Chain A
Amino acid sequence: MLAQQLLNGFVVGGVYALFALGFTLVFGIQRVLNLAHGAIFMSGAFIAYYTVAAGGPLWLGLALAVIGSGLISVLVEIVCFRRLRRSGDEEFGGIISSIGASLVIMTIAQRISDTQVLRFPFETFPVIIWRFWGLRVSALQLFMLALALALVVVLGWFIYRTAFGRQVRAVTQNERAAMLMGINPVRIHMQTFFLSGALAGAAGVLVGLAFSSIRYTMGEPFLMYGFVIIILGGLGSIPGALLASFLFGMGQTMLTAYMPSAISGLNEAFIFAALFLLLLFRPHGLMGREAAGALRGRR
């Protein structure tokens, strides 16, 4: 039973990782919270759903969701952050403008879906269940985990092993020096937002498949979880966000499984209390550094 819950939690953690890594990436590079990230995640689920509903195969829905969410994210960057960055007012202004973008995206989704809860048709993803060592694993769970891990590995490779990744980190740490090295930060910001949105879109599709409830508000709890995860992991830390995603996914699954149902409404309260306690002892999160702001360097 415990092993089963841990496994379930691990799968959920993988999805959280997709969501939170994109969130972290943008925070790391811009020192700005993109509060439209939840809405972008939701748009991924919507794009995949409507592709399937129109008769398209699931893989096509997934591909369109990844690309579409990436593009919506780029649009958010251009509309919400670019001008503010130029005027040097992105920290607070960006919070407000991205809330605005979030509302716009959600309202459009609400209109399109007529405020209904959408579900992928039965067997959109083949229902296959394997049992071994007393554990129960569905093909969907394996697919979710494989996709999440594959995307995380690809992202890690991009950021830590390619010239593009070095440029992203250079802009994050010292934008002015990066420009002097011939790096165009405007382009780096756009590419980063694309990656961030694409990962969120993939997470949205997986969540839509797993919990079969696609709603225009589905991004909101995820935005909250995203906060918990990037603070738990340490602001701007990619490895930290990864670790925190899995811890959070497993912790949440455990609570749901073992808490008496009478107080199950308090699960989130427990999670936030635990976060609060942890921050008392580790104010910079699990893998954060002294001053996250210093990562960026002077302008």
Chain B
Amino acid sequence: MLAVEALALRYAGIRALRGVSLSVAEGETVALIGPNGAGKSSLLNAISGIVRPAAGRIRFDGRDITALPPWEIARMGLIQVPEGRQVFAEMTVLENLLTGRTALAGRAEIFSLDDVFAMFPILRERAGQLAGSLSGGQQQMLAIARGLMGAPRLLLLDEPSLGLAPLIVAQVFRALAGLKARGLTILLVEQNARQALAASDRALVLEQGRIVHHGPSAELARDPDVIAHYLGQGDTGAMTQQGGG
């Protein structure tokens, strides 16, 4: 469904991606883990058309989307839930969700308003409240729900557990399991390697702009190197790699 080939990306001298290739098949959940500054967000942003790669190609459903603007990519059903939630703070929860429907652009909805409210009941309770007044966990749920309103065929999630309390993290991962069960295709970026491996079919490890490990998630979870670097000291293991970019 998604095929990324030899993608390279640089920001004013910094080489954020150095030849990344990956693919995601329909119905799969693929996890992308790696330390701070590894280039995970850069990769998602290149796929979404927010930043332009220096080299390489991105195809979605066989169509070359490397040069398409972000809104057209979203309208094809390749939808990113960005790092740090990025909800529209001065709009209500309901308005945020309705804005998410822009990406439908004539395609049939997959998740209705009732579906996302059933998934995250707190959003129904807070529907009339400004998004900026929600807690971090609620904003993350809103960000995911807003993405779902645009009928994603492939959902890109950038660190949905970032900065959330463990209880909320568990709730977010339960929601992701529910989405996977419904057959949604997901590319999940996480620093929380343990949870990400548990939630995915396949996983890739990105370090300094390169993919250094890949394979079925269960296998990676047994890989001594991955254990040492990412699973060693519990969920914060990735922090030992800080500044590796």
A residues in contact (CB < 8 Å) with B: 163, 166-167, 169-170, 173-174, 176-185, 295, 297-298
Contacts and interface: CB of A to CB of B under 8 A. Distances in A.
A170 B146 CA distance: 12
A184 B68 CA distance: 12
B146 A181 contact: yes
Given A176-B86, A182-B102, A169 B69 contact: no
A184 B100 CA distance: 13
B102 A177 contact: no
B103 interface: yes
B92 to A, nearest CB: 10
B3 interface: no
Contacts of A179: 49-50, 69-71, 74
Of B82, B88, B146, most buried by chain A (CB within 10 Å of CB) is: B88
Given A169-B91, A170-B91, A180 B102 contact: no
Contacts of A184: 69, 71
Contacts of B100: 181
B74 A166 contact: no
Nearest to A166: B99
Closest 3 CB pairs of A and B: A182-B103, A182-B74, A177-B86
A298 B74 CA distance: 19
B98 interface: yes
Given A169-B91, A173-B90, A297-B86, A180 B99 contact: no
Nearest to B86: A177
Interface string B59-90: 00000000001110011000110100011111
Nearest to A173: B88
Given A181-B146, A181-B150, A166 B91 contact: yes
Contact of A180 (B80, B89, B91, B105): B80
B82 A180 contact: yes
Interface size of B as a range: 20 to 34
Given A163-B98, A183-B102, A173 B91 contact: yes
A165 to B, nearest CB: 9
A176 B90 CA distance: 15
B200 interface: no
The SS class assigned to the A binding surface is helix
Nearest to B103: A182
Contacts of B69: 179, 184
B71 A182 contact: yes
B50 A176 contact: yes
29 contacts: A163-B98, A163-B102, A166-B91, A166-B95, A166-B98, A167-B99, A167-B102, A169-B88, A170-B88, A173-B89, A174-B88, A177-B82, A177-B87, A177-B88, A178-B88, A179-B49, A179-B50, A179-B69, A180-B50, A180-B79, A180-B82, A181-B99, A181-B150, A182-B74, A182-B102, A183-B71, A184-B69, A184-B71, A298-B86
B217 interface: no
Given A173-B88, A173-B91, A181 B102 contact: yes
A185 B99 CA distance: 13
Of B50, B91, B101, most buried by chain A (CB within 10 Å of CB) is: B91
Contacts of B71: 179, 182-185
Of A174, A179, A182, most buried by chain B (CB within 10 Å of CB) is: A182
B42 interface: no
A182 B98 contact: no
Given A179-B69, A180-B82, 10 more contacts: A163-B102, A166-B95, A169-B90, A176-B82, A176-B86, A177-B88, A180-B48, A180-B50, A180-B79, A185-B71
A180 B70 contact: yes
Contacts of B70: 179-180
B82 to A, nearest CB: 6
Nearest to B94: A166
A247 B236 CA distance: 57
A45 B162 CA distance: 55
Nearest to B101: A163
Contacts of B102: 163, 167, 181-183
A297 B82 contact: no
Nearest to B81: A180
B14 to A, nearest CB: 18
B74 A181 contact: yes
Contacts of A183: 71, 99, 102
Nearest to A185: B71
B132 to A, nearest CB: 9
Nearest to A183: B102
A170 B150 CA distance: 15
A167 B103 CA distance: 11
B89 A170 contact: no
Contacts of A163: 98, 101-102
A295 B131 CA distance: 12
B88 A182 contact: no
B71 to A, nearest CB: 4
A86 B100 CA distance: 25
Interface string B39-53: 000000000111000
